């Protein structure tokens, strides 16, 4: 038997729950055949796929080293821990959970500081006045360094912080912080504010592929099947199915519906009796229903879709392009 | 002969002898600082951005160490720790330095000179350029392009213009960092930063009011608000800069100052002409920058006395090496067709010693030789000539 295709999934907390729910929705049920405390799992129905349960930061590291083929991890960790991330891994798709921003936050008392340009001035003035550089507490050393460099700020030092970073300015181990925040409540509670242009990264959980993994023909085929499931589910969740039949329904009407509501007709135009199946973005459903009825439809039915299997697989196409580079 | 073997064989490599001999003859003692250095001085002097190119390690006691990324700071530290500290002393060096350079070898050779403690600054500056030209000459590269500048002139100009502190800080910083200064000058002429300031009304009300009273008001307000977390800055520091923004609001960089800075930055070419233009500018604008111009003129005189054809050197008021520890004379020697990388680069950094902990300022000037470029482009002085 050849080496398994490895998919890394976060091993704890909300991230794990969300990731498992994501795979389940895509029809890829994760199973732990040797019990819940096992750190290896499988996907029901897919042979030779191994699920590796790892911490989110370990997943980023293993992706960069090619030790796993695919992984679910935060973009913040990918950008922080992988040098030249875009060459070594591919962010295949945003997963819609695990959202948080990496931000620059300074004490609220700095009423004179609102922007990175202010910070540039203040850090230089501080160095001249106090004969040392301002300190930034963070675990995002690389993100901080490149963001500050892009703003031309040089008069600072990084203090590595493994936890409770937002407390550093109050206890005096740093003047400001770079940290991840979802609501900003913790920052405010610690007397900190985010600079107007201080958002370094809007991060969320991503499905990530490794460049250096063993991409044999078999591995590519496995990736294609997994990504096909995910793409089918992603396509399905973007639309609702709308069905109706009325004799005034023709190509002109559908073209108008397409332009106004973003509707697509996956199975072609209306039949001779005016029967049609449409896919419509959820937000436009009611408007579309009204539009169809105004043009003669007696009944319009709306149903949710579980999967939409297209000939094209945009996710796998991206992966193939990336692996060819 | 392979150059990669040279770090361990400098004593026998003929090209190394040819490079170092003129330095030894001029009285510079060979310095051999430790390869493993404390990381702190490098991070402190060069900023966090250097961290990505450092080879760092932490020892059992928790001290952060690095393989030396250059030799100036190690040579300076050894000098400061020696009993000659504060006395005039000159050092030469040749050895490996370690820097991540994205694809090119991380271990490479650097040579150079450091001159510490000499009060006759103009003469010492000129001696650096003369020795650097000898080094390139030893490799048969005599037609090098000589670029020079003097950041002390720009500093003197900005000081004499009597600008708001915020503009002074910004202009000096931009000059040192070698971002597009001209562009930034335009930007600050158009005034203020981007976006909406929530305190705009307050700032407008305070603009033009008695500064001392306004400062007291803001300071009091912050104390009443129970401001405790000030992140290392004092309340008066914050209040002071807050009020500075009201002065910024009330107008941009004065147009006459802008005109003078632009006129100053355009001065370049033959050093003699440049000096004449600088004197005219100072007289026209009634600016007291004479001392800095005198220093430049004296230096050019010493260069000529050392046999350097100064008409061949190119002086530019806007030449800066992009490192904020230079305080005066700066120079680079370039070979045609070698891209942006110089053969030799150096200058004066009178502030370095105090930053490294010297109790009193010690003058310092020196240069580094890009050995890789020199040995690649020049003829090997070790071969039969």
The interface predicted TM-score (ipTM) is 0.72
- Which of the four CATH numbers 3.30.420, 2.60.120, 3.30.70, 3.30.110 does domain A240-304 have? 3.30.70
Query: In the structure encoding, which two tokens stand for residue B5, read together?
Result: 């073997």
Separation between Cα atoms, residue A17 and residue A98, nearest integer Å: 11
| Residue % of chain B over a pLDDT of 70 | 83
Domains of chain B, by residue range, sit at 3-144+335-377, 145-191+254-326, 200-249
Q: What is the CATH number of domain A100-201?
A: 3.40.190.10
Q: Least CA distance to B235: which residue of chain A?
A: A109
Per residue in B124-145, pLDDT (tens digit) is: 999 999 999 999 998 888 889 9
CA angle B369, B370, B371 (to 5 degrees): 95
Nearest by Cα to B55 from B42, B73, B72, B74: B42
User: Given B43, B179, B238, which is nearest A110 (Cβ)?
Assistant: B238
Report whether A14 contacts A187 (CB < 8 A). no
DSSP B174-218: HHHHTS-HHHHHHHHHS-S-SS--TTHHHHHHHTTS-HHHHHHHH
* A253: its two tokens: 């009407």
Q: Do domains A5-97+204-235+313-324 and A240-304 have the same CATH topology?
A: no
The domain spans of chain A are 5-97+204-235+313-324, 100-201, 240-304
Q: Architecture of domain B3-144+335-377 in CATH?
A: 2-Layer Sandwich (3.30)
Best A80, A81, A110 residue to mutate vs chain B (most B CBs within 10 Å)? A110
A240-245 β-sheet, strand order: A275-280, A240-245, A300-304
Contacts of B241 in chain A (CB under 8 A): 112, 121-122, 125
* Mean pLDDT confidence for B260-274: 91
For testing contact with chain A, the best of B181, B215, B219, B233 (most A CBs within 10 A): B233
Which residue among B169, B179, B195 sits closest to A121, beta carbon to beta carbon? B169
For residue A306, give both structure tokens.
């579980």
Give the model confidence (pLDDT) of A87-105 as tens digits. 999 999 999 899 999 999 9
pTM here? 0.78
Give the Cα separation of B128 and B344 in Å (integer).
11
How far is the alpha carbon of B339 from chain A, nearest alpha carbon, in Å? Answer: 24
B222 with A109: Cβ contact below 8 A: yes
Q: What would the pLDDT profile of B69-98 be if each residue is shown by its tens digit? A: 999 999 999 999 999 999 999 999 999 999
- The per-residue pLDDT of chain B, averaged, comes to 84
CA–CA distance from A83 to each of A178, B58, B102 (Å)? 19, 21, 11
Cβ-based contacts of A137 with chain B (< 8 Å): none
Comparing alpha-carbon positions, the chain A residue that sits nearest to B198 is: A114
Q: For B28, which DSSP code?
A: P
The two tokens of residue B371 are 């050995």
* pLDDT above 80 for B231: no
Q: What's the confidence (pLDDT) of residue B322?
A: 64
pLDDT tens, position by position, for chain A (325 residues)? 578 999 999 998 889 999 999 999 999 999 887 777 778 889 988 888 999 999 999 999 999 999 999 999 999 999 999 988 999 999 999 998 999 999 999 998 898 899 998 898 899 888 888 878 899 999 999 999 999 988 888 889 999 888 889 999 988 899 999 999 998 899 999 989 999 999 999 999 999 999 999 999 999 999 999 999 999 998 999 999 999 999 888 888 899 999 999 999 988 888 888 899 999 999 999 999 999 999 999 999 999 998 999 888 899 999 999 999 8
Residue of A nearest to B323 (CA): A154
A-B Cβ pairs (cutoff 8 Å, strict):
100
Distance CA A205, CA B308 (A): 63
Would you call B229 an interface residue with chain A, using a CB distance cutoff of 8 Å? yes
Q: Specify the fold of A5-97+204-235+313-324.
A: D-Maltodextrin-Binding Protein; domain 2 (3.40.190)
How far apart, in whole angstroms, are the C-alpha atoms of residue B318 and residue B174? 11
Distance of alpha carbon A158 from alpha carbon B81, whole angstroms: 28
The distance of A93 to chain B (nearest Cα, Å) reads 29
Cα B277–Cα B278–Cα B282 angle in degrees, nearest 5: 120
């Amino acid at each position: 038997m050849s080496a398994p295709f490895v998919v890394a999934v976060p091993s704890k907390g909300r991230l794990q729950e969300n990731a498992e729910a994501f795979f389940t929705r895509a029809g890829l049920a994760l199973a732990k055949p040797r019990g819940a405390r096992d750190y290896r799992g499988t996907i029901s129905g897919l042979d030779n796929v191994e699920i590796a349960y790892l911490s989110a930061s370990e997943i980023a590291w293993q992706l960069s080293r090619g030790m796993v083929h695919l992984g679910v991890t935060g973009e913040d960790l990918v950008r922080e821990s992988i040098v030249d991330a875009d060459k070594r891994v591919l962010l295949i798709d945003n997963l819609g959970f695990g959202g948080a921003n990496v931000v620059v936050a300074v004490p609220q008392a700095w009423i004179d500081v609102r922007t990175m340009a202010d910070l540039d001035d203040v850090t230089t003035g501080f160095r001249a006045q106090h004969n040392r550089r301002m300190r930034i507490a963070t675990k995002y050393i690389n993100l901080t360094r490149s963001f500050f460099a892009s703003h031309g700020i040089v008069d600072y030092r990084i203090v590595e912080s493994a936890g409770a970073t937002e407390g550093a300015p109050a206890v005096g181990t740093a003047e400001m912080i770079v940290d991840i925040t979802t609501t900003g409540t913790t920052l405010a509670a610690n007397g900190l504010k985010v600079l107007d242009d201080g958002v370094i990264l809007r991060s969320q959980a991503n499905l990530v592929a490794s460049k250096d993994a063993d991409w044999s023909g078999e591995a590519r085929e496995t990736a294609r099947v997994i990504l096909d499931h995910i793409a089918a589910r992603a396509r399905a969740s973007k639309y609702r199915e709308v069905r109706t039949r009325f004799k005034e329904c023709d190509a002109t009407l559908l073209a108008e519906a397409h332009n106004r509501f973003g509707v697509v007709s996956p199975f072609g135009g209306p039949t001779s009796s005016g029967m049609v199946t449409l896919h419509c973005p959820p937000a436009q459903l009611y408007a579309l229903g009204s539009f169809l009825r105004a043009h003669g439809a007696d009944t319009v039915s709306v149903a949710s879709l579980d999967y939409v299997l297209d000939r094209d697989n945009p996710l796998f196409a991206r992966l193939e392009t990336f692996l060819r580079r | 002969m392979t150059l990669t073997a040279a770090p361990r064989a400098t004593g026998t490599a003929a090209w190394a002898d040819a490079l170092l001999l003129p330095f030894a003859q001029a009285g510079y003692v060979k310095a051999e600082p430790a390869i493993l250095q404390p990381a702190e001085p490098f991070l402190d002097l060069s900023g966090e951005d250097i961290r990505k190119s450092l080879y760092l390690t932490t020892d059992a006691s928790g001290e952060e160490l690095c393989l030396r990324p250059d030799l100036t700071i190690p040579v300076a530290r050894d000098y400061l720790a020696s009993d000659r500290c504060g006395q005039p002393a000159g050092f030469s060096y040749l050895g490996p330095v370690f820097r991540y350079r994205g694809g090119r070898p991380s271990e490479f050779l650097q040579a150079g000179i450091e001159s510490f403690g000499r009060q006759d600054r103009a003469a010492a500056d000129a001696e650096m350029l003369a020795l650097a030209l000898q080094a390139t000459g030893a490799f048969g590269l005599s037609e090098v392009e000589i670029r020079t500048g003097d950041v002390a002139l720009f500093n003197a100009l900005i000081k004499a213009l009597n600008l708001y502190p915020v503009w002074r800080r910004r202009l000096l910083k931009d000059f040192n960092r070698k971002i597009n200064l001209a562009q930034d000058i335009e930007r600050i002429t158009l005034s203020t930063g981007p976006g909406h300031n929530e305190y705009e009304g307050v700032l407008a009300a305070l603009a033009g009011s008695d500064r001392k009273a306004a400062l007291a008001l803001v300071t009091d307000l912050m104390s009443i608000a129970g401001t405790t977390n000030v992140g290392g800055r004092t309340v008066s520091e914050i209040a002071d800069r807050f009020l500075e923004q009201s002065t910024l609001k009330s107008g941009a960089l004065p147009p006459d100052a802008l005109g003078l800075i632009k006129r100053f930055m355009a001065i370049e070419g033959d050093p003699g002409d440049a000096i004449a233009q600088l004197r005219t500018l100072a007289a026209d604008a009634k600016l007291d920058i004479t001392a800095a111009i005198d220093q430049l003129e004296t230096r050019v005189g010493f260069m000529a006395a050392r046999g350097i054809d100064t008409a061949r050197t190119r002086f530019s008021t806007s030449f800066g090496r992009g490192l904020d520890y230079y305080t005066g004379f700066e120079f680079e020697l370039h070979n045609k067709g070698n891209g942006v990388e110089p053969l030799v680069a150096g200058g004066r950094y009178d502030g370095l010693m105090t930053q490294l902990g010297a109790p009193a300022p010690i003058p310092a000037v020196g240069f580094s030789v890009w050995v890789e470029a020199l040995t690649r482009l020049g003829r090997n002085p070790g071969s039969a000539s």
